[in-house]
Structure 1
């Protein structure tokens, strides 16, 4: 829907992986569309030597399972050879592969058991980019050199007779061709009413997989069942009867009883790769029924935007916002001349989480910035957790930043101090139950975080809020407010946050994952997608459910608790991780001709024991994680995805090197509060496409105030992301100043950061900058933020009026008291922008 299509008359081909490295075009992030041939892969499992024993009772009953998810979701396997340490199979398996995607074959060695589940002994991960066309490759995988255990396999790659496939890629994700299969059943002659027969139709590899269709009895064309499947996968259509209509016999061939006589219906199994586009094919399904099917290509236009650039709507907003920012900067900095559009710095407000504390404190900070006319200087506001409560409330008003915030603060105060028990009354709980039931009917996976969102709505408002995230576009239509961006992380079950996590950003325009360069319109988030195409539209979530997601404090697991107490995961990794051994340089592995330098090392993965697996599941299990339909489903990783600069910028976990385990292969995203990893919302602002010049960091942590900025500095250093160096010497929250200016003069692309920790320093003696408190007013300056009896604990939803006022006044004061630091940072940002302009022009 968003990308620009290349005219069909322009020949455009993707690079050949077997082309010499020096002759290949450099990887770019531009969207590419072109033709690429498919190849046929033959894998011959020859034999194994010295197979390890799964138990001490008998020799292994060995078989090998093959899984290549980029060619088929079905797992194939050899026959089982029992009680043999040196089994020999000589079995061949065929796949049709696309070499523009990262094909990693998984060869799993298993021990078959009759009573208990089969034992998984090990898995070999083999990157098929090592193979060259028309050349047999004979490999002996050294599985255990000490025990002389090895697996012998032969590979043969050949050209496919199928026509070239049209691919769309951004250099990281690849969308392949999809076809739509329409199927309907029709009676050959009129049947009696009540004799209508239903069929279960399964199309392997398709998005829908299985559907029930009814035999059409009346004249006319019935509405067909529709299946969407990748055209170049080895899909098949299978037809079966529901169990309720079985009458004697088995499901391999239908048996129907008619007047006591068994009539067999031959099974229907139709390969789809041989179907011509738009040609109707008729198949018999018993004596009186026919199946009609027709395959047509799906439109090439995608509903998922693949690309790392900002969406057109955001670019348009930034042009409008620059006019507002330029005028505000001229007034605030008392500039003699107007700023040119390419001299306007990009300024952002970055907030952290902390429940009601962060919501309340953010109101005070924004009020202070408004009084200094600095709100109109910012182009972005980012937030997570409780800060999103403030953001979502403010953006219900399209002109909130131009109005006095004191009225909004008064309204927020009314809700924070009110009794929250009515939100848990029986009537309210009954209403929540009905709403969650309706949400489930719409197609969402409902869990406790949805209930939490409804509870937040009841606690922070008086009535049901029908607003949605996409409705906030009204507050951006004229560039009148900063653009809000909300942040979460995507995680996996049974995996530590340290081993896998991905940033997921939400704006009124788009929801997307910056690592993959994949985005969907905000109103389509939660809908079902396949291979970049919209399959089923689900109504957009109300804002309360998004608030529950962004502040999902109940998604904690035992490993998070461990990390909060101890930053090291050495114990967890040592006892619960699978053992991964690189065997690329083992002497038993013969030299293999490599056509592509961008290949993964061959690895042997040995699963953990039953005890360690159970322990890992206990530690990583999350009862209340938010699950949404995965809009990356079906898309595949480009063969050079690891070398793509945009992907590498956010490649920060173990699983990034295991393409079969990344997000494009799962049905649902598992989204958490970002604070479970780091309590900051920097990542959207560090994208090169946004490239913030100045970031105002508003901190609301309950613990160490310097920890989020330190974690961000360390993360950016590891990822080679331009960012100021961490040079704060203070420990904990003692002797902290109200404001810190961080910059990196050695790195021109690094943003300037103005860091505001949440502390109570000079506010104890001054009620306003330069205005001392009287003895009677000293108590109003005593704000207990971190003590054991603090009223601002993260778990607290209700404050007293005095506690609310103190927090708002403190944060407003800290902004106003550091006006000079703020103006200095703004001048530096303007000067930096002008210097960059002069360097570009020269």
Structure 2
């Protein structure tokens, strides 16, 4: 099984349930009712199925690495849109069978207004190429979640002209932001945070940041919730959005402990454990798979605050930007419960001498790893302990990359709260959920730089090979593929660079002398108007960045088409 469920008794000392492992008959269903919980005045009925299977279907959460039934139904509907779009684009003489339809995903990276605007431009380019209906998934983090959340308020956004959405985004990106700190706004923040606390949430500065994002991106209060986006998927009419975050732990750097969390309109789940709750139940209190207290679903601005939490950085990460991570650990060795070199098997721990840190060392390490603020949500895995056999599960091993992964008792049963931050503090990519084998993604349109993380995790991903010249001066588009590696997607790498756009205003259309200024964009310098912390653009800067992102898609349409054709050929070969 994936998790061990435990019997309970009530502790009058701590005022909370104590879980004890019992010897129960294997291979059959056992019901424990009316457990004495001391002063706890309610009974918990827990259903067990102690065999090599997932937990009982009657729980309020879902265990398993397979896709939920709603996503499977969506995929069946979306294939009709994708098949029709591919037939029209490539002028195919026949309709594609379901098995011939490739799964194409857009993977984005973060960066505030820059990534928000860039994604609008890329989507506009795909729309003009009639390729937007070929996309099945869009994943985002940080600033791209702002684009996605705004688009998915419209249930048929991808079937319409994007000009109105882009115009509204420009209005918000270029407006004065000083009203964010007005007295009326401060009163609004206080009222909303007090209401959130009364609802049962643990509030933090991240929630305040979410309310500020609400002001930055909207003219008024945004009542939109993530589960509301199910309406935009009911007919398969849009790609399925996936929002990405990482779960962190106090006293650990992000490199030492981080676990991927995915948010869809259907579910929120931890990839490593195959544990999911309904999106509308995220934030509610759970124990042993049962929902003890239902709290109202968060408005999406609070999630946006978490997905783009620029205030979750710690000193260790800042230091790591200037010196190597290894050098940091030479100065501040890992704590007692850390094991920097992961064993190949769960019980093969290395023997080593350990000297407990003194007060000064502990204080310095705490100062380095403490984050200014972290979004706190009730741990929906509370009451569970990982089964020892779970450590050998191939899906768990896919995401096994933290210093606690060799100790199942140290992972998920202890924290009352899940601390979540912007995934960009680990790797600035939203690709992890799209590399779940169950999603069978054939083509990835990667809107920024790829990384070595997946090869280290032995997750199928093509080798990213760039020449020294390319590393100095990136081109607009690259294609990476490895046909010999089963399950390996084709990656279309589209970095945000200003290359031929400087001389061409459209593919094959050169700029005249008076138009050369339109092609000049400073994307990287410290004085760039597009720096990550910029919260306001001029109309000119917004338009330039939007046009550049669109141009880079249009100018490399042939390479994108080539990758899609290769994916269809691979699908046909699998059918033979």
Matched ranges for 1:809-824 at <5 A: 809-824=547-562
Q: Deviations over 1:549-592 (max 9, x none)?
A: 1000111110111122223234335534235799xxxxxxxxxx
CA distance in 2, matches of 1:715, 1:695: 16
2:549 corresponds to 1:800: no
Distance apart, 1:447 and its partner CA: 0.8
Contact 1:449/1:552 (<8 A) preserved = yes
- Aligned partner of 1:567 among 324, 336, 341: 324
1:449 corresponds to which residue?
206
Contact 1:33/1:166 (<8 A) preserved = no
Q: Secondary structure at the match of 1:669?
A: strand
1:621 corresponds to which residue?
370
1:655 corresponds to which residue?
404
- Aligned partner of 1:505 among 262, 281, 284: 262
2:301 corresponds to which residue?
544
CA distance in 2, matches of 1:578, 1:437: 37
Q: Deviations over 1:378-407 (max 9, x none)?
A: 100000000000000000000000111111
Distance apart, 1:599 and its partner CA: 4.2
- Aligned partner of 1:419 among 176, 182, 196: 176
Matched ranges for 1:238-257 at <5 A: none
Distance apart, 1:829 and its partner CA: 0.8
Contact 2:390/2:396 (<8 A) preserved = yes
1:719 corresponds to which residue?
457
Distance 1:689 1:71, change over 3 A: farther
Q: Secondary structure at the match of 1:226?
A: coil
1:518 corresponds to which residue?
275
- Aligned partner of 1:781 among 519, 531, 542: 519
CA distance in 2, matches of 1:383, 1:606: 42
1:790 corresponds to which residue?
528
CA distance in 2, matches of 1:178, 1:679: 46
Distance apart, 1:730 and its partner CA: 4.0
Larger RCO of the pair (alpha carbons < 8 Å, separation 6+): 2
2:342 corresponds to which residue?
none
Q: Deviations over 1:53-96 (max 9, x none)?
A: xxxxxxxxxxxxxxxxx9999999xxxxxxxxxxxxxxxxxx96
CA distance in 2, matches of 1:611, 1:32: 39
Distance 1:502 1:696, change over 3 A: same
2:51 corresponds to which residue?
none
Q: Which has the larger radius of gyration?
A: 1
Distance apart, 1:654 and its partner CA: 1.3
2:53 corresponds to which residue?
none
Distance apart, 1:640 and its partner CA: 0.7
2:386 corresponds to 1:637: yes
Distance 1:667 1:783, change over 3 A: same
Matched ranges for 1:589-604 at <5 A: 599=347, 601=349
Compare 347-356 and 329-338 and name the one that shifted more: 329-338
Q: TM-score, normalised by structure 2?
A: 0.91
Contact 2:248/2:254 (<8 A) preserved = yes
Contact 1:730/1:736 (<8 A) preserved = no
2:508 corresponds to which residue?
770
Contact 2:3/2:387 (<8 A) preserved = no
Distance 1:718 1:756, change over 3 A: same
CA distance in 2, matches of 1:71, 1:576: 38
CA distance in 2, matches of 1:330, 1:541: 41
Contact 1:165/1:177 (<8 A) preserved = no
CA distance in 1, matches of 2:297, 2:326: 38
Distance apart, 1:499 and its partner CA: 1.5
Contact 1:325/1:376 (<8 A) preserved = yes
Stretches of structure 1 that go unaligned for 5 or more consecutive residues are 1-29, 39-69, 77-94, 99-159, 169-175, 183-201, 204-209, 212-224, 233-298, 583-596, 700-707
Contact 1:563/1:569 (<8 A) preserved = no
CA distance in 2, matches of 1:769, 1:231: 62
Q: Deviations over 1:195-234 (max 9, x none)?
A: xxxxxxx74xxxxxx66xxxxxxxxxxxxx32549899xx
1:380 corresponds to which residue?
137
2:83 corresponds to which residue?
326
- Aligned partner of 2:226 among 448, 469, 491: 469
Distance apart, 1:677 and its partner CA: 0.6
- Aligned partner of 1:752 among 469, 474, 490: 490
CA distance in 2, matches of 1:742, 1:71: 55
1:740 corresponds to which residue?
478
1:141 corresponds to which residue?
none
CA distance in 2, matches of 1:798, 1:638: 50
Q: Secondary structure at the match of 2:404?
A: helix
2:164 corresponds to which residue?
407
Count of aligned pairs: 559
Q: Secondary structure at the match of 2:298?
A: coil
Higher strand share: 1
1:304 corresponds to which residue?
61
Distance 1:606 1:462, change over 3 A: same
- Aligned partner of 1:688 among 432, 437, 459: 437
Distance 1:339 1:671, change over 3 A: same
Distance apart, 1:826 and its partner CA: 0.6
Contact 1:380/1:485 (<8 A) preserved = yes
2:241 corresponds to 1:484: yes
Distance 1:690 1:573, change over 3 A: farther
Higher helix share: 2
Distance 1:456 1:335, change over 3 A: same
Contact 1:487/1:503 (<8 A) preserved = yes
Stretches of structure 2 that go unaligned for 5 or more consecutive residues are 49-55, 340-344
- Aligned partner of 2:25 among 161, 164, 168: 164
Contact 1:576/1:615 (<8 A) preserved = no
CA distance in 1, matches of 2:298, 2:330: 38
1:678 corresponds to which residue?
427
1:217 corresponds to which residue?
none
CA RMSD of aligned residues (A): 2.8
- Aligned partner of 2:191 among 434, 440, 444: 434
